[in-house]
Structure formats: structure tokens, C-alpha cells
Amino acid sequence: MSRRFPELHNPGWLRQQHGVEFRSVKEIAEVIGCSESAVNGALRRAGVPRLPKLMRAALQARRAREEGEVEA
């Protein structure tokens, strides 16, 4: 059976995108070409906790600073 958005059925990929890369639901939806509600449902089914917007932004900024320090 072929799934239209296989990423939505891959808990590891979802955890990487949202919990490690700190991508928003909207960003994930844009990457794979599906709706935000589909991503929300997939995150819920995979047991991936949603990161609040401000927390995600702070984590993204911290990661960018740390990556900048490594490259410098």
C-alpha cells in the first residue's frame, strides 16, 4: 500500500523535524506538501510533544548561536 505522505507515518522523522530541528507544524507541512492538521495528527499519533512557539523560537536561536560558534 502506497501512502501519499510517508513522512507522516515515520515517528523518527517527525521527532527529528519537530523535536531536534525545531520546525513548526506549518514548516513541516510545507516541506512535505500536506496540511497542518495532518501534521498535528501525525505528531499526536507518534507521541511527539508539541513545542510552544516561544520555546521553539528560543531553541532555534540557541542552536543557531551554537552552530555559529562551532563554525567560527
Query: What does the domain layout of the chain look like in residue ranges?
Result: 6-71
How many whole angstroms separate alpha carbon 22 and alpha carbon 3? 25
The closest alpha carbon to 16, from 3, 7, 29, belongs to: 7
How high is the pLDDT of residue 1? 46
Q: How many CB atoms lie within 10 A of CB 18?
A: 23
- Give residue 49's pLDDT band: very low, low, confident or very high (50, 70, 90): very high
Share of the chain above pLDDT 90, in %: 67
| pLDDT > 70? residue 71 | no
The reported pLDDT for the residue numbered 70 is 61
Tell me, what DSSP letter sits at residue 48? P
In tens, the pLDDT along 3-39 reads 899 999 999 999 999 989 999 999 999 999 999 999 9
